[in-house]
Structure 1
Amino acid sequence: MASPQLSLLLGRLRLKHLRVLDALAGAGNLHQVAAALNMTQPAATKILQDAEAIVGARLFERRPRGMVLTDLGGFVADYARRMLRETETFSEGLDNLKAGGFGALSIGAIMATTPGLLPRAIAELKRRRPLMTIRLLAATSDILLRALERNEISLALGRFIDPRNALAFDIEPLASEELWVFVAPDHPLATRAAISLGEMATLPWVLQPATSPMRGLIDSTFASAGIGVLNNVVETTSIFATLHLVREAGMVACLPKSILVEGVAAGTFRRLPVHLPNQLGPLGIITRRGEALAVTAVDFISVLHSVAAEATGL
């Protein structure tokens, strides 16, 4: 049960306060915030002052080049962002239901789910709830976890990137994914029967950002071999860009088997004989710990279970 002080605080912080705090956290300028929210600057200043009075602390430091969040202000701004996202989701879902639809669902997924599990799951959910609005954030696991923490998505299909993730999130494993290193069929290494890591160290690679689990695995593999970190790298989270750079720019890349198996079978790409240890954590359904899921999210998880069971023959 919330304390009387907390109930009073939440009762006094209204949407106008949350909107100004969220906008100011991003812009750092009250004039820009007032213009974006269609209000006068004195009005925006008054709302900020009210919010600081309610919280009982200074939320922003006034500096010559703008306004910067205090530590406590950052905490309050994160709360404001989450509440605004929940309000937006509620409003959109309510409008959808009133119009005869089936609500709304925001999900996130890593690219390993793109060619198989996720499309089939979404297709089945749309068959069951054809008027449901589904929003999909396709990104790396680190980005998805941040979005889940900020309440921008209801659940994620991804991996933990740090053991401490278990403090804030629950994960239900669904599958493990094999990674393939690959090149275009006309690449100088395409026909080699054996390739050492040392030979590949100086080649141009296209990889996910350093914060992603897949990139961490590749970097650790080369480091463990005494080669060091790859330096000749283009970083992207885009599957399309990765495949295009491999085909057109002669780069080396690493992606999940599920994405590459058809292209390799068709001769569009060539898998290289490079062994990567299976050290990636399992792909799973990640949710915020201790939080009850909406009906739409529960339905989607049920669909994921069905699709995953069909894929593995269970």
Structure 2
Amino acid sequence: MAWARRLRMRHLESFLILLDAGTLSAAAQRLHMTQSAMSHWLGEMEALAGARLLVRGRRLQLTPAGDAVRKLALRVLGEVSRAHEELGSIAKGAVARLHVGSVFAGVAHLVPRAIVSFQQAQPNVQIEVTEGVFNALLERLERRDYDVIVGSIDARAYGPHLAHEVLFEDGIGVVVARHHPLAGRQRIAWRDLFAFPWVMPPRETLMRTRLDTVLLERGAAGLQPRVETGSVLTLEAVLRGTDYIGVCSGAMARHLEALGLLRVLPVADAESFGPVGAVWRQGGAGEVVHAFVRSLREEAARLGLEEGQGTAGS
């Protein structure tokens, strides 16, 4: 541990700048150093770590030791940034700050309701919510950008440093504009949908993977979307002016129908999408995180969603 004690914040910051720049000369310009000074600095870093961190070439490449230092830098600098924000919040009268990442199914109703319920009990906690796809949210959770994320629970939530709780089971929701030719039908088969253009979730999402499997099983493996988007606003706006078929989570579909924006089609043998739950870092969550998870659990029950099915990894 002696080498770590000699590390300074500037070492970690400069190392990430060097990786982003890709070359010693580009990094030297950003750090207002000469290239020789930058090379000397890198040598000092490698001497501190006792291992080669980068392979020098036309573009620098990380060694396994360098990747370990990169992860260390992201963790440490992330925690320092969080501490800075929390100190600022305390100075303004707030006792804590909670960063929540959520997929769109959670944002539909569960996360907003949980926030309201949570802040009634803890009004001095500031909450920041970011929406995104689960892959990106999980990566940022591991970098400590978020305290807790709400998303689709799959094998990735069983990571060795993660804990999770299932909140409800979601399904695949098929939605259309209120004026759509299929909007008044009482029962719809999958084949009835294939004559219309589609709006689908992006390819890298779990929802899209599940949808592609369903289409393959229904004989529509070659069906290509006219639009791919993870934005609920874009989905609603495109459908409102067209006869397109849209796909989103069942929770979001019901929410959009309740608002009078879209219609949920009663598709026969509609498929389950899978469980949606909360994920947080094991051992790194304080009482504020656990209190927010309790609010999520309670709101899921009030909304008539399936109750949480226990915790894992805790």
The TM-score with structure 2 as length reference comes to 0.84
2:168 to 151, 159, 175: 175
What does residue 83 of structure 1 align with? 76
Higher RCO (C-alpha 8 Å, min separation 6): 2
CA distance in 1, matches of 2:195, 2:2: 61
What does residue 148 of structure 2 align with? 155
What does residue 246 of structure 1 align with? 239
The answer as to whether partners of 1:109 and 1:157 remain within 8 angstroms in 2 is yes
CA distance in 2, matches of 1:44, 1:106: 36
Deviation of 1:112 (Å): 1.0
Deviation of 1:262 (Å): 5.2
State how 1:82-161 maps to structure 2 within 5 Å.
82-161=75-154
1:224 to 217, 220, 236: 217
What does residue 23 of structure 1 align with? 17
Q: Output the amino acid matched with 2:293.
A: I
The answer as to whether partners of 1:202 and 1:232 remain within 8 angstroms in 2 is no
Distance 1:222 1:25, change over 3 A: same
2:288 to 290, 296, 309: 296
The TM-score with structure 1 as length reference comes to 0.84
CA distance in 2, matches of 1:12, 1:202: 66
Deviation of 1:53 (Å): 1.9
Root mean square deviation of aligned Cα: 2.7
Higher mean C-alpha deviation, range 297-306 or range 211-220: 297-306
Deviation of 1:119 (Å): 0.8
The answer as to whether partners of 2:177 and 2:263 remain within 8 angstroms in 1 is yes
Higher mean C-alpha deviation, range 266-275 or range 291-300: 266-275
Distance 1:276 1:112, change over 3 A: farther
3-state SS in 2 of match to 1:25 = helix
What does residue 4 of structure 2 align with? 10
CA distance in 2, matches of 1:254, 1:74: 39
Deviation of 1:249 (Å): 4.3
Fraction of identical pairs, as percent: 28
What stretches of structure 2 of length at least 5 have no aligned partner? 308-314
CA distance in 2, matches of 1:292, 1:266: 38
The answer as to whether partners of 1:108 and 1:137 remain within 8 angstroms in 2 is yes
1:59 to 44, 53, 64: 53
Distance 1:24 1:242, change over 3 A: farther
The answer as to whether partners of 1:17 and 1:48 remain within 8 angstroms in 2 is no
Q: Output the amino acid matched with 1:254.
A: V
The answer as to whether partners of 1:121 and 1:303 remain within 8 angstroms in 2 is yes
3-state SS in 2 of match to 1:221 = helix
